[in-house]
Structure 1
Amino acid sequence: MSIPQALLENAMFHQNLWWSYAKEGGLEVLNLSEGLQHYLGPAVVVLEDIMGDYETALLRLKIEEALKDENAISSEFDMRFNASYETLKGKRSFQHQLRVLQVDGERIVWANCIDVSEMVALEREMVDAQGRMTLTNMYDRQQALEERNTFITNSYNKQSRFLALLSHELRSPLLGISSLVKRLRLGSDVSPEVSSMLKTIAMTAEQSTYLVNDILTYSQTEYDGITLHPAEVSLPELLESVKQLTKSIASDKNLIISLVYLGEHQYVLADGVRLTQILINLIVNGIKFTQYGGVNIEVSETKKDYFLFKITDSGEGINNERLQQIFEPFAQLETDEGRYTNNTRYLGAGLGLFVVKQLVELMGGEIKVASEVGVGTTFTFELKLECLDKNRLAASVSEGVTKLVVLQKEPCLKSSTQIGTVSVNSETATQNLCLDPLKILIADDSKINRMVLAGYLADLQCEVVEAKDGREAWELFKAQKFDYVLLDIQMPFIDGVEVSKRIRDLYNQGKAPSLKGVFAITAGGDASGFITEEERHDTLGFDEWLVKPVSKNQIVKLLQKDYRASDEQKDIKLEVENKKINYDSKQKDERDDLASIDDVPKQFHHLFESFVVEMTSGLKELNELNLLNNREKIKKTAHYLKGNCMLFQLTGLVKLFKSIEMIQEMNTNKVASNLSRFEETKNVLQKLILNVKNLEKSGSISHNKQ
């Protein structure tokens, strides 16, 4: 098989770029033009030699395709493709036009080649340019989007920060109003009409304070996050504090706030400020939607370091559809349903439960809610709080039964931490408290706050010097001798932290020998927000850090301690205090263990006689049921009587009835164990009978006094 002679004799034909392919006797026959051979250089024997480093199956695929095509020999057949060869001039791209020739009955593939390297390079450059243009546009667009996003984020952060600052500025006057109104309401010359108006002002101020606290927490969550600051906290005292803080709002609707603490430990490691905020929000939420009854707080120690919090109200309940939305922010703004209760409008932006959920999750817990329309709602969450074993609460039930604890209503003589947030306790009688004459410096840029603190201290016969900013406070401290200093943190010219550090340095130089303590009193939260990462609380120079509102009882506690006394002096004072506590405890144990009419809110005194009669009858029934070993009826009767005790706020009796219920849960059928359960139930019933008799006796004494 050969190329036609006419073509071979044409010199121009040999200078063109072409190659031919055929098979002869099963072997491949490859012919190249002189022009193409000149490009390639080395002799070409097989088809792969043409491709060089760019060898692919492309040529063979195209040849096979052309040979199999029945119409390939027609003049209309036209197969074109590009392929690159390794030539003496480097990589070159060629366009191939394949045709099939019929010679002596055999098919020959004829490939005419055109060097299109410049065109391919230009095309590639155009593609690259288009790609670069696209990437540039994408980059510019991305940069524009990032700049816009940065602008939006900065604007949002500025708004959130402004909201946080505004919330802080609102807290201070609101707390001042609450404190002044409280002092006015305690006055003996206040008329009933004025007292009613003051009560309304106090309620509005308290609700506004809770709302501002929620806004502040929400803005912190959205802007820069919230950091927990665990400290040593007395959990029973914190719970009692929460009860007292919400009690006034509940009493305005004739509702009861009851509290039961079932635990073995008193002190835990927790962020007391945030835990208090969680509980207050849940209680206030329950008060809003409750018409009759009240709200019950029950805290149990499920196991060491784990505490279950349960807040139950007897309100209107929540339907399932609404239940799915209650933890969403601003959910309350979407509807006015429930915002008016008993003709009273409650302030709120729908942030309370959202804030609760955020804080519970931040503390490692999960909040759950269960509700039944017309019955009430229960919120539960469990938190891991490290227990501090140095103080365990005494058990009130025999071994083998869950231990129940009676909350102490007296304020503790020792603050929970050396540097921490002092918890708010219930107001106790301090009018007759005798303190040595003390000279105290108050520094606060809010006149109303200075008035509140000065009023408390005046009642305690203290000499008070006021400063309206940090600079004036520092000058006064250098010029005069003070026993205690109370500093606001955010003040003009020099802030409270800087004043405290200067006072500390002066004291360390021996130039302030009379100083007994320096205290921070601020509406801005705990110390963590005012120190750098390198600093510690004790580097600020403060002996205690209090968060407004500050009660008179807190001030009294602060002034009972010399924080700058030597260790020897502290040991002597502590020994004296312990002896006094032990003596007082022995004198009061028997009396404190029994309930009296003084434990019952005055608004329920008119129901007291009926309550005692029902309790006496109920205890008699329980005694009979215990003889019959009727565990189910014992539980039901004890549960009913426990509810009455919750209404009358008789916490000790609530715990005893709770223990009876739990004793019946002992899962055994052994005779010996049944006898044990009978004896344990009998012992608790005897305690209840003694309490009811003391209640009746105290009621009679109170009636005779009247």
Structure 2
Amino acid sequence: MKGLKAYIWPAVEDGDHLRAAQLRIIGVIALTVVVCGGLAGALNFVANYERFPPQAWIGLVTPLTLGALPALARSRLSLRTTGLLTVSFLYVVLTGQAASMGGMAYPVVIYLPGLPILAAFLVGPRAGLGFGVLVGASMGGLFLFRDWVPTPADWDINYYLLGWITITLILLTLAASAVCAIFAHQMAAAGAALEEARKRSDAANQAKTAFLTNISHEIRTPMNAMLGMAQALQQDALGPDQRDKLEMMTRSGDALLRLVNEVLDMARIEAGRLEIVPQNFRLTDTVAMLEGLFAAQALEKGLDFSIRLTGDGERVFVGDPVRIGQILANLTANAIKFTQAGHVQVSLHAHAPDDEGQARITMRVADSGIGIAPEDAKGLFRPFAQAGSAEMRAYGGTGLGLAICRQLCELMDGEISLQSTPGQGSTFTASIAVRAAAPDLVMARPEPQQRDLSALQRLRVLAADDSQTNRLVLRALLDSLVGTLCLVENGQEALDLLDAESFDIVLLDSRMPVMDGLSATREIRRREAGSGQPSLPVYALTANVMPEQVAEYEAAGMDGVLAKPISRDALISTLMSHALHVPEDRDDRPARYLAE
């Protein structure tokens, strides 16, 4: 039944409401003709088969063939071509039937006024008017030349009454063709205006996304210097006062980075580009992430902070742990921010999977903070919305976090809700759908962070970045760790250096003058394919980390992406994964060593 409904009444695809309306009109007309015309054809077949067998068979089969009309309208033929062929076929069949049997007295002529309606919606307003005139003239001809039309012997026809019926049908046909032509014209104009508005909206979204991508790149460059140098300073011996100041600077930089990421996520949502990436994960790892992020913050404010995991939490699920963690991080950060005393309690419950392996995860974040009034809670999940009280707005924020949480929950077939009482706290509850992994899947636990970094001393690293600031950050982070660090300004210089010396890993910025990172990577892979050399690890070290950009890096042959601002832990982890494969007995340095 659902299949028949979808066949007759298709859904709107790609926002094209005009085409959907046309296909639905076709579906309704096809269903009407099949049912009503099939019944009339069956009665006609029984009554006239002995004297008019061809006409009886045509009258029976023709209505049924229109059941294929919706499928034909969805075919590769254009809608106009489909409509013109269909209306022309019906005109020939119906007028041929009437001309060979009974004329205007034959009941099949009752379908003729419907042809201009069909033509107006399928072909266009002019076709509707044209078929209206043609059908009206055909009916007039059938009446005027009625003596030429064979009539069944048992028919007793009142030609006076038939004349008035003919005039009525002609007038009805002309009126219907005119009305439907006007309506089809207005519908086409509305569809064209809607399509133009959609194009303008898409163009505006693309321009906004491009702007946000560019501004993100420009913001991340100075942030890379600030956070990168802060991470480098953390390796030095600092006094308590200096370390406190460094910690404040790092925390402020992380807050700014979260703000940039929220704006980019909102842009992806509005452009329909935010994707859920399923992978295996455990909720226990999510709990560890939350504790590492927020336990210290809650302790500083004197809050009772707890995380509780219940249900099937040890099971391996298939979902997007990054986005699940983002939801929890947003809700927990808000709870700590708006709570001055009392508690923040995070609870996660993994429901047992059903017979098909589908499961749900319920996440709840409760606090004893300032609470939210009911009138303010209604629009809280809209972008840039914040609760209306001056006390709430004094805490700052963009109003994007909860909107992003709602969108992420919906993308994962879930929902988010709020229960709050002013002055007594708030409870946010989010529910998402996941899938249980195979029971025999063994998911390795993350290994403890490698403390012995001596293997990096035999590693040769080549990095290309046109920003001197970024090169200084790389030098501050790696110069004392790796055996060789060569820094160049663009992809062409990196290729020239690769011609002269050998390296274990290459880091390339995506945007550089002379030659960018993608072009340099393609050239490296082309040379390797021509010479049969093993693949050299190449990573993008870039501030452009939108999903489509990451896909472009992978298509160019890069092995991975390191996002700016640079995370020292992520950078060292990547280098260590390659340093462990470098022979221990290699201690010679490249003859050419670039230092700035």
Q: Same fold (TM over 0.5)?
A: yes
Change (3 A) 1:183 1:137: same
Aligned match for 1:484, one of 505, 514, 517: 505
Matches within 5 A, 1:275-314: 275-293=324-342, 295-303=344-352, 306-314=360-368
Aligned match for 1:315, one of 369, 386, 408: 369
Deviation at 1:359, TM superposition (A): 0.8
* 1:188 and 2:237 matched: yes
* 1:339 and 2:339 matched: no
Larger radius of gyration: 1
Alignment TM-score, normalising by the size of structure 1: 0.50
Partner residue, 1:354: 403
How far does the alpha carbon of each residue in 1:457-497 deviate from its partner, in whole angstroms, 9 at most, with x for none?
12414422223444443443343311122234455565544
Aligned match for 1:160, one of 198, 208, 213: 208
- Quote the Cα distance in structure 1 between the aligned partners of 2:549 and 2:477: 27
Larger proportion of helix: 2
Partner residue, 2:64: none
8 Å contact kept, 2:140–2:170: no
Aligned match for 2:323, one of 274, 290, 301: 274
Change (3 A) 1:540 1:147: closer
- Quote the Cα distance in structure 1 between the aligned partners of 2:410 and 2:230: 36
Matches within 5 A, 1:559-578: 559-562=575-578
Corresponding residue SS for 2:392: coil
Kindly provide the amino acid, as one letter, of the partner of residue 309 in structure 1: M
Deviation at 1:522, TM superposition (A): 3.9
- Quote the Cα distance in structure 2 between the aligned partners of 1:488 and 1:282: 34
Alignment TM-score, normalising by the size of structure 2: 0.58
* 1:518 and 2:534 matched: no
Identity of aligned residues (%): 26
Partner residue, 1:531: 551
Change (3 A) 1:553 1:324: same
Change (3 A) 1:245 1:369: same
Change (3 A) 1:116 1:291: closer
Deviation at 1:289, TM superposition (A): 0.5
Kindly provide the amino acid, as one letter, of the partner of residue 439 in structure 1: R
Change (3 A) 1:314 1:520: farther
Aligned match for 2:226, one of 177, 183, 187: 177
Larger proportion of strand: 1
Change (3 A) 1:482 1:144: same
- Quote the Cα distance in structure 2 between the aligned partners of 1:436 and 1:307: 45
Corresponding residue SS for 2:318: strand
Partner residue, 1:453: 474
RMSD (Å), alpha carbons: 4.7
8 Å contact kept, 1:440–1:485: yes
Deviation at 1:288, TM superposition (A): 1.9
Change (3 A) 1:217 1:207: same
Partner residue, 1:555: 571
Deviation at 1:86, TM superposition (A): 8.6
Corresponding residue SS for 2:502: coil
Matches within 5 A, 1:251-262: 253=301, 258-261=306-309
Change (3 A) 1:260 1:136: closer
Aligned match for 2:447, one of 412, 419, 424: 412
Change (3 A) 1:122 1:271: closer
Partner residue, 1:215: 263
- Quote the Cα distance in structure 2 between the aligned partners of 1:307 and 1:547: 30
- Quote the Cα distance in structure 2 between the aligned partners of 1:540 and 1:234: 32
Deviation at 1:209, TM superposition (A): 1.8
The gaps in structure 2 that reach 5 residues or longer are 1-101, 108-138, 147-159, 354-358, 584-596
- Quote the Cα distance in structure 2 between the aligned partners of 1:295 and 1:522: 36
How far does the alpha carbon of each residue in 1:118-171 deviate from its partner, in whole angstroms, 9 at most, with x for none?
x99998999689658735862674365235414532343234323542453234
Large movers: runs of 4+ above 6 Å: 84-88, 119-126
How far does the alpha carbon of each residue in 1:237-282 deviate from its partner, in whole angstroms, 9 at most, with x for none?
4543444445676566455765455566375433343233222211
Kindly provide the amino acid, as one letter, of the partner of residue 226 in structure 2: I
